[in-house]
């Protein structure tokens, strides 16, 4: 139990997508890309396989991604996707609880798992000669878990404690949850990945079994293997392990309730005695890589980079470097999502009392782009930064596995990933301006405020 | 089509509950109550029947209430409950489309229907000798509707047009929708009764048939007959008509996702050129008559009455009569709901620029009750006003039918309705103060602002 409490199983969406943004999807027409041979095929039972050979070091990352995240949960059963991730480390018919962890430790590997809105993923980084064993164990727990009340009850206590520690104990996390619930008026991204406490408390064996039987099937999973391996050997091992698992029933398309037209601006305010420095974050619902058309997702990635993607960005230069107004400021875009997603700008002032001024300064930077657009020079630099970060990602099989896994479980293809740099290169300054005008409208902005407790009112 | 467009089929929740609040549920230990003999029984197929004889005039109100409202809709199918209400006026195997309307007109009656979050109701007020025919036709359409694409398509256009006229064309309605979507972070009361436009557009025959087969069954319906009738005769007619309809499958309990603990205050702002006078409304999630314990629902009804229930209320006296600050101000509580519901205070200033001051004045009135409570004298008067309004309701069989129908489809019983005055009488000033303190917390208030368009920003 203990090791699982400490293991960072839950990756909040923001972290997942910041990771993707730092190492954005690339390949294409360049020298680096020519080296990247990615194999992509289906096993007989419908399981998709991606193999990314990289022989520079004797190491391999093995990941299984399920197309099942919190946004796939039945209403009222929030948290079951993440709870189930925990249950995957329990015993199967042939392996005792904890054996999976022990095995990976024994061979000197490391392993982890995480749950997000659109997927749940399990990964191990190991020496290549252990890959067959890993696949056998991972294939085993895909269908053979023992889900008794004795298993469920104590692990539910673990995830409840995880929520208490990570969310209830952290005003910023509590605020984020309610901002999400306000931003999305209809779509299940409204519901937190970890679940609402009062619903998590009621999750039971029937819920777990139903979730398992529905989603944990080879035809709803993507195997990603990246590292010092040979494609033919991986295919053979995959067929001998995952390939033996019976195909599950075909799932209906992942069609979720979508957002209505929005007509209001909204604020969400959290006051808490633990807050010392006020901060704000403003969000908008925008298309994701899957739902966008006409390069709007790529343009949003560039807008986020130019506006607030690091120390070279307009926000940072204007409000941290030149003006000394902000202790932190930035923007990000969560593009790797199955459905319409969010674009965020945020800031914290150096001076406690200057929150409103900082917010106005950030708004002014957005308005400047909406009015005057971005320059060719900053567009070029932003493209280069995003593409360069991909080069770094290629240095790590684990990063590449992450990129492909997240893309393939959110409606993109291997080809989409590989052509991303080309598509990014084709974006014009006008397109960046256009998405700023179209999506970052103050009239429909949703802003969260985290404020120090300034009164005795309740 | 035309007559149906003009018929006020959709009762926004607020209107329904204002009606109930104006004519609150009563009976009990008083003289008036002794006269009220209400019969309550089940038919063999599980259909519940309530008969309220009233022989003062040769008139009868006949209502059928289905325990199916917008909060019972599947996610992504918003609007199907209300759309289905329209479809009930189409043809059956033995009656042509429009025949129902024509029949009621022919006998000089009037009829209507409405949909809310927890129920859909159909009612006719007619002469008693037509009751048997009405029951036969109402029982017929409970199961024999012809739902072809030719029927569905044109009527979907009608409800879309209804949404355009009532919601899209009205900034106040658009704002109300987004306030509800913000107030409820998890519960389906978040979704508008009429539906989100983009989901309504996709409602089809399969959706309609599924909704009909699931919810339009005698064991999911309540028949309410109020007026110049004899209980035994009504029972006989009901058995001969509704009693012949086959029982449907038992439905699972109406358990919907509930609200998480709330930690933030929120605002929702709508700016529109059509708005001339600004206004605000602040809401909180509070228990309903079904979910409340320890008299909290009755206390909330009294709090709403004392704080803002008409011209004798504190808000009206202080801010309209004495101060001339508000052109309108008030409070209401939507108690007749299956699940946790809302408590609202609202106001519009006389002077356009004085919105913030009025909001502060209203907040101060709430704080006064939270600090000092209410007086015995105003509590007595409020109880009397609420109970007196019930006396007026008894004058109209239609009002009584409404009260019982709404109560019985939101988890209350005939006895609950009849004992309401007793329970109301037992509420103390401390209980009223306690619900104000417990529920009207500024830190978790959700406030909607309707503002004139003051800029060219979008």
**pLDDT reported for residue A3:** 31
Check pLDDT > 50 for residue A439: yes
Check pLDDT > 70 for residue B44: yes
Distance of CA A291 to the CA centre of its chain: 16
> What digits encode the pLDDT tens for the residues B112-146?
899 999 999 999 999 999 999 999 999 999 999 99
- Record the tokens describing residue A397, joined without a space: 């099989």
Confidence of residue B256 (pLDDT cuts 50, 70, 90): very high
Mean pLDDT of B347-356: 92
Nearest to A261 among B197, B255, B442 (CB): B197
**pLDDT reported for residue A175:** 98
Residues 6 or more apart whose CB falls under 8 angstroms from that of A252 comprise: none
Nearest alpha-carbon partner for B61 in B413, B415, B396, B414? B396
One domain for residues A103 and A223: yes
> What digits encode the pLDDT tens for the residues A3-19?
333 333 333 333 333 33
One domain for residues B65 and B129: yes
Domain count, chain A: 2
Determine the residue among B77, B193, B266, B440 to mutate to test chain A binding: the one whose Cβ has the most chain A Cβ atoms within 10 Å. Answer: B266
d(CA B331, CA B308): 4
Pairing of strands B446-452, A221-227: unpaired
Q: Which residues of A touch B (CB under 8 A)?
A: 75-76, 78, 174-175, 177-178, 181-182, 185-186, 188, 190-191, 196-199, 255-258, 260-271, 441-443, 448, 457-458
Check pLDDT > 80 for residue B12: no
Confidence of residue A22 (pLDDT cuts 50, 70, 90): very low
> Which residue bears the tokens 């004992």?
B419
What CATH number does the domain containing A121 carry?
3.30.830.10
Domain that holds residue B441: 266-395+410-452
Give the mean pLDDT of chain B: 91
> What digits encode the pLDDT tens for the residues B262-294?
999 999 999 999 999 999 999 999 999 999 999
One domain for residues A416 and A323: yes
**pLDDT reported for residue B424:** 97
Check pLDDT > 60 for residue A341: yes
> What digits encode the pLDDT tens for the residues A245-255?
999 999 999 99
Q: Residue A324 falls within a domain, yes or no?
A: yes
Mean pLDDT of A52-67: 96
**Alpha-carbon distances of B287 from B259, B300, B337, rounded to whole Å:** 11, 9, 9
pLDDT above 90: percentage of residues in chain A: 83
Distance of CA A162 to the CA centre of its chain: 19
- Record the tokens describing residue A225, joined without a space: 């293997």
> What digits encode the pLDDT tens for the residues B71-102?
999 999 999 999 999 999 999 999 988 888 88
One domain for residues A234 and A348: no
- Residue A347 belongs to what H/E stretch? strand A341-349
Check pLDDT > 90 for residue B356: yes
Q: Residue A107 falls within a domain, yes or no?
A: yes
d(CA A209, CA B428): 49
Q: Residue A329 falls within a domain, yes or no?
A: yes
| Lowest mean pLDDT across A296-300, A417-421, B204-208 | A417-421
**pLDDT reported for residue A8:** 33
One domain for residues B440 and B381: yes
* Chain A: closest CA distance from residue B104 (Å): 38
Confidence of residue B443 (pLDDT cuts 50, 70, 90): very high
* Chain B: closest CA distance from residue A266 (Å): 4
> What digits encode the pLDDT tens for the residues A156-195?
999 999 999 999 999 999 999 999 999 999 999 999 999 9
One domain for residues A240 and A365: no
User: Do residues A386 and A23 touch, judged by C-beta distance below 8 A?
Assistant: no
Cα distance between the two ends of chain A? 37
**pLDDT reported for residue B269:** 98
User: Do residues B337 and B290 touch, judged by C-beta distance below 8 A?
Assistant: yes
User: Do residues B65 and B85 touch, judged by C-beta distance below 8 A?
Assistant: no
- Helix (H/G/I), strand (E/B), else coil: A389: helix
Q: Which residues of B touch A (CB under 8 A)?
A: 75-76, 78, 174-175, 177-178, 181-182, 185-186, 188, 190-191, 196-199, 255-258, 260-271, 441-443, 448, 457-458
Q: Do B266 and A269 touch (CB under 8 A)?
A: yes
- Helix (H/G/I), strand (E/B), else coil: A12: coil
One domain for residues A234 and A291: no
ipTM over cut 0.85: yes
Check pLDDT > 60 for residue A274: yes
**pLDDT reported for residue B284:** 98
Q: What is the 8-class DSSP label of residue B350?
A: S
Q: Residue B250 falls within a domain, yes or no?
A: no
Determine the residue among A167, A184, A185 to mutate to test chain B binding: the one whose Cβ has the most chain B Cβ atoms within 10 Å. Answer: A185
Q: Residue A315 falls within a domain, yes or no?
A: yes
**pLDDT reported for residue A20:** 39
User: Do residues B390 and B423 touch, judged by C-beta distance below 8 A?
Assistant: no
Check pLDDT > 50 for residue A24: no
Confidence of residue A455 (pLDDT cuts 50, 70, 90): low
* DSSP bridge pairs for A50: A40, A224
Check pLDDT > 80 for residue B27: no
Check pLDDT > 70 for residue B458: no
Check pLDDT > 80 for residue B17: no
Which one of A22-31, A90-99, B205-214 scores highest in mean pLDDT?
B205-214
Mean pLDDT of A91-119: 90
* Chain B: closest CA distance from residue A335 (Å): 23
Active site residue B261: no
Check pLDDT > 50 for residue A25: no
Confidence of residue B36 (pLDDT cuts 50, 70, 90): low
d(CA A452, CA A348): 12
d(CA B424, CA B21): 13
One domain for residues B82 and B193: yes
d(CA B154, CA B158): 7
Handedness of CA A423, A424, A429, A430 (dihedral sign): positive
Q: Residue A7 falls within a domain, yes or no?
A: no
One domain for residues B222 and B365: no
The alpha carbons of chain A give a radius of gyration, in whole angstroms, of 22
**pLDDT reported for residue B455:** 62
Q: Residue A28 falls within a domain, yes or no?
A: no
| Active-site annotation holder among A48, A85, A111, A124 | A85
Vertex B410, ends B408 and B414: CA angle to 5°? 25
Confidence of residue A98 (pLDDT cuts 50, 70, 90): confident
Q: Residue B405 falls within a domain, yes or no?
A: no
One domain for residues A282 and A237: no
One domain for residues A310 and A234: no
**pLDDT reported for residue B100:** 84
One domain for residues B67 and B202: yes
d(CA B53, CA B59): 10
Determine the residue among B263, B371, B450 to mutate to test chain A binding: the one whose Cβ has the most chain A Cβ atoms within 10 Å. Answer: B263
- Record the tokens describing residue B174, joined without a space: 């658009």
- Record the tokens describing residue A169, joined without a space: 């104990």
Q: What is the 8-class DSSP label of residue B102?
A: H
**pLDDT reported for residue B164:** 97
Check pLDDT > 90 for residue B110: no
Where does a domain end: B181, B212, B244? B244
């Amino acid at each position: 139990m203990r090791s699982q409490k400490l293991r960072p199983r839950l990756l909040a969406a923001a972290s997942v997508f910041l990771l993707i943004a730092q190492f954005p999807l690339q390949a294409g027409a360049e020298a680096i890309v020519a080296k990247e041979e990615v194999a992509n095929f289906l096993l007989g039972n419908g399981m998709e396989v991606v193999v990314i050979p990289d022989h520079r070091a004797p190491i391999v990352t093995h990941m299984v991604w399920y197309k099942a995240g919190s946004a796939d949960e039945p209403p009222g059963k929030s948290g079951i996707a993440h709870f189930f991730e925990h249950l995957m480390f329990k015993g199967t018919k042939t392996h005792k609880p904890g054996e999976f962890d022990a095995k990976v430790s024994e061979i000197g590997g490391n392993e982890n798992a995480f749950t997000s809105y659109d997927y749940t993923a399990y990964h191990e980084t190991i020496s290549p000669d252990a890959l067959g064993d890993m696949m056998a164990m991972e294939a085993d727990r895909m269908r053979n878990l023992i889900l008794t009340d004795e298993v469920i009850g104590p692990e539910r206590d673990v995830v409840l404690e995880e929520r208490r520690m990570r969310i209830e104990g952290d005003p910023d996390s509590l605020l984020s949850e309610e901002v999400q619930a306000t931003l999305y008026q209809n779509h299940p991204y409204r519901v937190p990945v970890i679940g609402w406490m009062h619903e998590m408390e009621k999750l039971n064996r029937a819920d777990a079994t139903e979730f398992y039987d529905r989603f944990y099937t080879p035809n709803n999973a993507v195997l990603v293997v990246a590292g010092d391996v040979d494609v033919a050997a991986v295919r053979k091992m995959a067929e001998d392990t995952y390939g033996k698992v019976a195909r599950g029933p075909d799932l209906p398309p992942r069609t979720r309730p979508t957002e209505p037209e929005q007509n209001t601006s909204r604020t969400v305010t959290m006051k808490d005695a633990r807050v010392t420095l006020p901060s704000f974050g403003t969000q908008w619902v925008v298309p994701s890589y899957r739902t966008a058309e006409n390069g709007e997702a790529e343009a949003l990635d560039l807008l986020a980079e130019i506006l607030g993607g690091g120390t070279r960005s307009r926000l940072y230069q204007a409000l941290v470097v030149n003006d000394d107004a902000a202790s932190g400021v930035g923007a990000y875009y969560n593009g790797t999502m199955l459905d319409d997603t969010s674009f965020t700008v945020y800031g914290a002032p150096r001076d406690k009392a200057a929150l409103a001024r900082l917010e106005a300064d950030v708004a002014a930077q957005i308005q400047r782009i909406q009015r005057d657009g971005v320059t060719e020079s900053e567009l070029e630099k932003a493209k280069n930064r995003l593409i360069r970060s991909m080069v770094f990602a290629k240095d790590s099989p684990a990063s590449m596995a992450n990129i492909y896994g997240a893309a393939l479980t959110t409606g993109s293809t291997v080809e989409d990933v590989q052509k991303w740099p080309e598509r990014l290169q084709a974006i014009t300054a006008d397109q960046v301006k256009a998405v700023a005008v179209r999506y970052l409208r103050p009239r429909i902005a949703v802003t969260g405020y985290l404020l120090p407790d300034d009164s005795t009112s309740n």
